[in-house]
Amino acid sequence: MEWLHVLLSSLGSIIALFILTKIMGNRQMSQLSMFDYINGITIGSIAAEMATSLEDDFIKPLTAMIVYALLSVLFSFATSKSIKLRRILTGETLVLFNEGKIYKSNLKKAKLDVTEFLTQCRNSGYFNLSDIQTAILEPNGKISFLPLAAKRPVTPGDMNLFPLQEKPVVNVILDGKVLQDNLKFTGNNMQWLKKQLEMQKISKIKDVFLATCDYENNLSVYIKIEKPMTRDMFE
199: helix, strand or coil? helix
At 193-230, the pLDDT tens digits run 999 999 999 999 999 999 999 989 999 999 988 777 66
Same domain for 6 and 27? yes
Contact 145, 126 (CB under 8 A): yes
CATH of the domain at 182: 3.30.240.20
Helix, coil or strand: residue 113: coil
Of 62, 87, 112, the domain-final residue:
87
Number of domains in the chain: 3
Taking CB atoms within 8 Å and a gap of at least 24, the contacts of 110-117 are 110/137, 112/137, 117/143
The stretch 58-87 carries a mean pLDDT of 73
Residues forming beta bridges with residue 95, ordered by sequence position:
136
- pLDDT tens for each residue of 115-173: 999 999 999 999 999 999 999 998 877 899 999 988 888 888 888 888 888 888 999 99
Q: Is residue 34 part of a domain?
A: yes
The answer to whether 150 and 132 are in contact (CB under 8 A) is no
Question: Of all helices (H) and strands (E), which one includes residue 146?
Answer: strand 143-147
Same domain for 180 and 132? Answer: no
Q: What is the pLDDT of residues 96-127, one digit of tens each?
A: 999 999 999 999 988 889 999 999 999 999 99
Taking residue 152's Cβ as centre, other Cβ atoms within 10 Å add up to 12
